[in-house]
Structure 1
Amino acid sequence: MKLRFAPSPTGLLHVGNARIAIANWCLARHRGGRFLLRLDDTDTARSRTEFAQAIEEDLRWLGLDWDELIRQSDRLELYAAAAARLKASGHLYPCLETEEELAFKREQRIRQGKPPLYDRAALRMTPDQLSRAEANGKSPHWRFKLSAGHVEWQDGVLGRRSVKLPSLSDPVLIRADGSFLYTFTSVVDDLETGITDVVRGEDHVTNTGIQVDIFKALGGNPDQLRFAHLPLLTDADGGPLSKRTGSVGLRQLRRDGVEPAALVGYLAALGTSADPVPAMPADLVAGFDLGRVSKSSARFDTKQLLGLNRRWLHTLPFEAVRDRLPDQADETFWLTVRGNLDLLREARDWWEVVAGDILPQADAADAELLRQAAETLPPEPWDEATWPAWTAALAAASGRKGRALFLPLRLALTGESHGPDLKTFLPLIGRDRALRRLRQAAAG
């Protein structure tokens, strides 16, 4: 078994790309197969080196590796040879219509109540007509002559699928400038690299029908290929999930502080009946099964993803995050704050509360309580018994209890209305800093 993930380095990866990459990788590893990363970079006008580098970095961040890496820009001679074979066999034919002429033809067919298909007029062009046109400076683009009939396959997710080829226009495989299109290069690469399984989005179903026909024309046996098309993701409201939306780009999610295990676990469970659990790809291999994926679209809900992110952070040991915490933060600090984090970057805010200067919050009505708190603040050393003993004494002296007692103290000591358990957090703040904040808050 051999699978591939084939992004175009014309932009950054988004969650839809990541879902496809994870599915291909997990299936390959589950079956003991190989995983190929192919960069589809024949679009020289839009492909950029920095995007190619970012794709590799983002895949590694997700916990994915690959057995081979190829770039289509290195394989142009291979495509040219395959094109020559298709031309010789009559499967590729030259066309000279301009974009304006093609648009006019489409409009005419629509007015006539016909589907806007290419009429194959170029097939009636004689060699002499083509020669004269080329002598006058015209360069043809090349179309693939689709077979009659239809292409059928048993899809690994969608079930039995069929594409009627006569209902489609003959696809352009080579532009007038000589550059090759994805529809063609992808088939040549799948054939040449020995791909056995193609897992991609549902928006490629029609492409699959066309590409199987090209695969046959190049001498391949389509029975050796298996296909699985994952339904496309939607947003939380069921609307289309835009590929260009920054909020679902991997780079933005990383900047926002989403952990890879949360994203991987969430994407792997989308569209299945399984409850998502934080996990890296290697953790998912043993139980991976595309057959569990629903035929219906799955909703990508950022709130659910963040909930999973919280669950993951709340269980992480200190060693797993040590290099991403402030330099002097220790295990006690991490174990104290991790249960209050949605994103790891928030740990730095709590470190500022522990070791930095903050603006205490206070209500004028609580000034007397805070003065009493400063006066009764016990001497160090402090431990987990300090907070309950101190607040018990303060409750007796002030007559306050519950929220009326604890909230003013928390606001003065941390500047926040919610946060870590002060039984363990107060000793981290220390007496000098706590006293200074209580006096500042009492003074207003």
Structure 2
Amino acid sequence: MTTTTRFAPSPTGHIHVGNLRTALMNWLIARKAGGSFILRLDDTDQERSKQEYADGIMRDLEWLGLTWDRVERQSDRLDRYAAAADGLREKGRLYEVFETPTELDLKRKKQLNMGKPPVYDRAGLNLSDDDRARLRAEGREGYWRFKLDLERIEWPDGIIGDVSIDAASVSDPVLIRADGQVLYTFASSVDDVDMGVTDIVRGADHVTNTATQIQIIKALGGTPPRFAHHSLLTGPQGEELSKRLGTLSLKDLRENGVAPEALLSLMARLGSSQPVELKMTLGELADGFDLSQFGTSPTKFDAEDLWPLTRERNQHLPFDAVRARIAGMGVPDDLAERFWRVASHNITKLDDLADWWVIFSEGAEPVIDPEDAEFVAQALTLLPPPPYTDTSWAEWTAAVKDATGRKGKGLFMPLRKALTGQAHGPEMSDLMPLLQVVRAKART
């Protein structure tokens, strides 16, 4: 059987790092096995689902290289869900209920006070046709629950290990709302059967959903896929991450300059026993991916960890990968490759290149310590105007040393700061040929 996985986001907002972890794991399983990866948009919530978010999800996945074999939309499958619901009704596995949220809350509190698990009492199963007609006459709208078989639901989880849940401890799940909207638990089960999904990785908060969906899938005549539940992400101090996810959307990370390879390399190893290492291709990540290496404890995510990986990735890029960007900054063709070689080791984000070209093309705002002012002024009188060569720095500093007697750091550092405005950066012998001008202020 072909390995088939899916990523099933709801297009009700931008996807974030938590969503990415799920998408990436499913993608890696499919690609490692030479299987199929489905992008399924769970858009049955027609009020909140928007095309702009669907487009954004696709744009984010394409940015990361997480290509899909086909796209499915739940909104195109409403007739299929209706037919599947009719089939469950015929089997006696779907029944209508009428309790209000307030009534359900009172029932739960009563059960808890009696020391019982707060599960639905199945009162809807005892309603006669006359009862249902009377409730509708009162203005109540019926909704539909799935009747669980009260037995243990067990599966070998790919991360957690063997899982066993007593169905008697779980409420019969609501599958269809009073307004007719098909809920995730049902639509997802129908889709997984129809689309031949063989493997599903998702967050540990879905374990109970998995238990009920295993029974729903079997009731639909399908074979449950292999399930694995990854740990949930927390902030760097172990704090709840959900409150910060709005600032951790893939869209924001991309716009802030995070490299896709950095994000993928971190998320593919975070929470596993394998070290986080930069991988420049998804193939490398897939080769080393192993669900059994992941643990069950909450996993700390710190967005700051993305920057060293982004820096490393950018330093690995060949000149051809940035040629167009550098040309767009106005760097002359004869200096472009040297500019990349010099600047690439002194940036984190590619956007930082622009700052370096300003230094080279317009001249830096000089930094001159008061005690070095006279020395720098004298040294600059010995500096000829551009253009400079690979030997210009050595020739100039030798002349300054002879004229002033300064040497070592006391010689080189003030001159570097006067020309570049920075105490650190590229080797000055490499940098000098890129200097187009030297600020007049530095020469006075």
TM range, normalised to the smaller chain? over 0.9
CA deviation profile, 1:42-61 (whole Å, cap 9, x unmatched): 11121111110000000000
Relative to the length of structure 2, the TM-score reads 0.94
In the aligned structure 1, how far is the partner of 2:6 from the partner of 2:366?
55
Q: Name the residue aligned to 1:313.
A: 314
Output the amino acid matched with 2:156. Q
Task: Give the direction of change, closer, same or farther, for the CA distance of 1:342–1:102 in structure 2 (3 Å limit).
Answer: same
Task: Give the direction of change, closer, same or farther, for the CA distance of 1:215–1:338 in structure 2 (3 Å limit).
Answer: same
Shift of 1:153: 1.0
Answering whether residue 194 of structure 2 is matched by residue 213 of structure 1, we say no
In the aligned structure 1, how far is the partner of 2:352 from the partner of 2:220?
56
In the aligned structure 2, how far is the partner of 1:106 from the partner of 1:411?
71
In the aligned structure 2, how far is the partner of 1:33 from the partner of 1:289?
16
Correspondence list, 1:268-287, <5 A: 268-275=268-275, 276-287=277-288
Output the amino acid matched with 1:368. E
Q: How many residues matched?
A: 436
1:155 to 131, 154, 157: 157
Relative to the length of structure 1, the TM-score reads 0.94
CA deviation profile, 1:133-159 (whole Å, cap 9, x unmatched): 224432101111111111111111121
Q: Which runs of 5+ in 2 are unaligned?
A: none
In the aligned structure 1, how far is the partner of 2:138 from the partner of 2:303?
57
Q: Name the residue aligned to 1:388.
A: 394
RMSD: 1.8
Percent identity of paired positions between Structure 1 and Structure 2? 49
CA deviation profile, 1:199-258 (whole Å, cap 9, x unmatched): 111111111101001111111133xx2111111222222223226533421111111101
With 116-125 and 63-72 compared, the bigger mean Cα shift is at 116-125
Contact 2:17 2:245 in 1 (8 A): no
Answering whether residue 413 of structure 2 is matched by residue 411 of structure 1, we say no
Output the amino acid matched with 1:292. Q
In the aligned structure 1, how far is the partner of 2:104 from the partner of 2:390?
78
Shift of 1:289: 2.0
Q: Name the residue aligned to 1:48.
A: 50
CA deviation profile, 1:70-89 (whole Å, cap 9, x unmatched): 01111101111111111121
In the aligned structure 1, how far is the partner of 2:409 from the partner of 2:417?
12
Q: Name the residue aligned to 1:185.
A: 187
In the aligned structure 1, how far is the partner of 2:233 from the partner of 2:161?
19
Shift of 1:437: 4.5
Q: Name the residue aligned to 2:255.
A: 255
Q: Name the residue aligned to 2:440.
A: 436
Contact 1:151 1:163 in 2 (8 A): yes
Contact 2:363 2:419 in 1 (8 A): no
Answering whether residue 96 of structure 2 is matched by residue 94 of structure 1, we say yes
Q: The residue matched to 1:245 in structure 2 has which SS?
A: helix
In the aligned structure 2, how far is the partner of 1:192 from the partner of 1:375?
80
In the aligned structure 1, how far is the partner of 2:291 from the partner of 2:98?
44
Contact 1:152 1:162 in 2 (8 A): yes
Task: Give the direction of change, closer, same or farther, for the CA distance of 1:244–1:408 in structure 2 (3 Å limit).
Answer: same
Contact 1:62 1:280 in 2 (8 A): no
With 277-286 and 252-261 compared, the bigger mean Cα shift is at 277-286
Q: Name the residue aligned to 1:288.
A: 289
Shift of 1:260: 0.3
In the aligned structure 2, how far is the partner of 1:69 from the partner of 1:185?
16
In the aligned structure 1, how far is the partner of 2:385 from the partner of 2:102?
86
Shift of 1:380: 5.0
Q: The residue matched to 1:314 in structure 2 has which SS?
A: helix
